[in-house]
Amino acid sequence: MKDLLQIDGARLWRSLMEMAKIGATPKGGVRRLALTDEDVRGRDLFATWCRDAGMTVSVDEIGNLFARREGTRDDAAPVLIGSHLDTQPEGGRFDGVYGVLAALELVRALNDANIVTEKPIEIVSWTNEEGARFTPAMLGSAVFTGITSLDEALAKKDADDITLADALTQSGYRGARAVNGQAVDAYFEAHIEQGPVLEANGTTIGVVTGGQAIRWLDVTVTGMAAHAGTTPMPYRKDAYFASAQMAAELERIVASYAPRGLVTIGQIGIRNASRNTIAGEVSFTVDLRHHEDSQVDAMERDLRDAFERVAQARGVTLRVETYWRSPATPFDSECVALVANAVEALGYSNERIVSGAGHDAIHLARYCPTAMVFIPCVDGLSHNEAEDALPDDVTRGANVLLNAVLARAGVMATADEQ
């Protein structure tokens, strides 16, 4: 462990706390929605820090922000490291930003040690990872990897009918760098776990082996609006009560897929809602997750069957549409091994873990060799202003990231030896 390069944990923590001031909320969280003034201020600060570290900064057509540290081989594809700076409306200080600033601290540590790598290293902050302003999530990495076309992404609108294209232009982050076709040697991403497993098990590092399958459905239940005081209960076609029964059915269904099956109804709305009117139309979202694609398929089939039975029994109509799907994605075995080797060399406790959340790394894994490093977060809490991580865990995760990336990028010499 003495011979391994390590980062400056205090410096990384200071960077995290300084970035957390941008968009800070009264309860200690952060609000930096993609391409808002707060996100722009965060991007600007990060870009300044990267230039101070001797890196070259560029922005692509979808607003992904890159900072490059050259290697000795001009012909080599870069090792890419990063995450995102945007947050949820009431987000925390570590989700996403930890991966970006851990990558910056990695470069700072290389500078301190005068280490030159064979392959270039590029840090990236992806655009709109959270999907809180523009949906779906992870748009920047989706366009970068060719999963979503640039034109399709630019046409996405937020709740105020502002397109992503207009937001990029207004923010000054609609770059000239081509978004497609870049060769990448490998991609590494550090992140808080966003769940309770590592903390509960007393484990320092999660060696992430891949991401679980995710499927988003949009459900619309249409009944008949009517007067709340004059329509007897047997004559009603109440879209809300039907939706509530469907939700109960969904909870019953997911129990048969325990412990890995997960389901969430995250948004619900009543069209033309009024206090004294029976709900005529209700829409809600469903988020299905499991480690295996086949099990998500089965969960969706069960959902559709159960919802249809409820609809028929209550005399309402039903529409279920697939909004987005992300298949289960294994990470590259060699890159995962580099992370595992770094953990072992550093002497940290660790366990293999599948990511329950969507990350840009899931998209990158279909484009180039990819791996992730997880650290515990306090009480497993994320997407919340109370989100927290311990300084020692933040440092250890960055040490793992540093040594895994060095093993991939190749240590050629110190600057003094060139």
Give me the CATH number covering residue 188: 3.40.630.10
Asked if the model's pLDDT at residue 350 lies above 50, the reply is yes
Q: Two tokens at 46?
A: 């990060």
Based on the domain organization, do 28 and 151 belong to the same domain?
Answer: yes
Domain boundary residue among 266, 301, 326? 326
The pLDDT of residue 74 is 83
Based on the domain organization, do 43 and 177 belong to the same domain?
Answer: yes
**Domain count of the chain?**
2
What residues form the annotated binding site for Zn(2+)? 84, 95, 130, 191, 383
User: What percentage of the chain has pLDDT greater than the value 90?
Assistant: 94
The pLDDT of residue 356 is 85
What residues form the annotated binding site? 84, 95, 130, 191, 383
Domain boundary residue among 326, 348, 368? 326
Answer whether residue 4 is part of any domain: no
Give the closest residue to 282 by CA, choosing from 367, 225, 358: 225
Confidence of residue 329 (pLDDT cuts 50, 70, 90): very high
Asked if the model's pLDDT at residue 2 lies above 50, the reply is no
The pLDDT of residue 313 is 98
Looking at residue 272, which CATH number applies to its domain?
Answer: 3.30.70.360
Answer whether residue 203 is part of any domain: yes
Based on the domain organization, do 192 and 275 belong to the same domain?
Answer: no
Confidence of residue 181 (pLDDT cuts 50, 70, 90): confident
- For CA atoms 147, 148, 149, 154, give the dihedral sign: negative
Burial 294-325 (b: 16+ CB within 10 A, else e): ebbebbbebbeebbeebbeebebebebeeebe
In the numeric block, the tokens 């366009």 are attached to 143
Based on the domain organization, do 55 and 176 belong to the same domain?
Answer: yes
Q: Where are the alpha helices (DSSP H) in 135-289?
A: 139-144, 150-154, 164-171, 197-201, 239-255
The pLDDT of residue 414 is 56
Domain span at 150: 9-211+328-417
Based on the domain organization, do 358 and 223 belong to the same domain?
Answer: no
**96-102 average pLDDT score:** 98
The pLDDT of residue 273 is 97
Answer whether residue 65 is part of any domain: yes
Based on the domain organization, do 332 and 245 belong to the same domain?
Answer: no
> Residue 28 is inside which H or E element, if any?
none
Asked if the model's pLDDT at residue 123 lies above 50, the reply is yes
The pLDDT of residue 269 is 98
Q: Report the alpha-carbon distance of residue 361 to residue 104 in Å, rounded.
A: 18
The pLDDT of residue 190 is 98
Q: What pTM value is reported for the model?
A: 0.87
The pLDDT of residue 413 is 54
User: What percentage of the chain has pLDDT greater than the value 70?
Assistant: 98
